[in-house]
Amino acid sequence: MTFLIEDIGINPREIKRYINAYTLLIKLIPSLRRDVVLAMLTIRSRLDWEMVRRNHYAYRHNFTDAVRRQIGGEKDALENLAPELRAIPPRFLQYVGPAGPAEDLLTIASIDEYIYAGEATHSRFGVGLSDLVRDATTLRGLLRDAAEVTADDEKASQIRGHILQLRERIMSLSQSSGPGGFSNAILRHLDELTDTLEELPDVSADREPWLRRGNKLVDQTVSDIDQWSRWG
């Protein structure tokens, strides 16, 4: 609990929600490891650990593996997974490090069970938005591949198809819950990404500015999906 209440953004109502969510999860799924459930709830509740939650959803086992290697002395393990993780909160690394209250988080074979269990109890959308965070994040790699080809190449078409699938899933969720600011913003980002593909520079031109613009849109998309999963 110390790692939860030290966040200046936590209020008594959030603590009550945290306790209720823990009680419900353990009651519904007694097989879940209690310390890991507490760790997942703490990550979700701390506003200053948004980066941790977002990348945990995006990379799952690869994220916990990189955290474990970084703690073990591989100083670039997290940055090699995602550049923004060079700024991961040191307090989180203490939380999951040796003798930390959440060290078992790094030993779970399948973290999906805990992510989905948490979503099922705290999200009005049920299970699914964490997968959207993961699937939207893959656009970064797809854009990097597209930067090496022409606009009519199969890889560019693959990105368009991926964006279309994401868009359809967002539309479905927004229709079931009612339109809102987050869903509208996400759809705008995806539409801008589609437009960006049509503006792919000639192969002889410098494509780094194009790639940076595309990655910024991906980051905005992922961030808004993560916030949508948290606040609805």
pLDDT digit string, tens, across residues 41-53? 999 888 889 999 9
Nearest in space to 114 (alpha carbons), one of 51, 22, 49 = 22
One domain for residues 99 and 138: no
Confidence category of residue 139, pLDDT binned at 50, 70, 90: very high
* pLDDT one-digit tens code per residue, 161-189: 999 999 999 998 887 665 568 899 999 99
Last residue of a domain, one of 93, 116, 139: 116
Domain that holds residue 6: 2-116
pTM (2 d.p.): 0.85
One domain for residues 163 and 219: yes
CA 156, 161, 165, 168 torsion-angle sign:
positive
Interatomic CA distance for residues 173 and 133, integer angstroms: 14
One domain for residues 30 and 105: yes
One domain for residues 88 and 107: yes
* pLDDT one-digit tens code per residue, 75-127: 999 999 999 999 999 999 999 999 899 999 999 988 999 999 988 777 666 67
One domain for residues 203 and 107: no
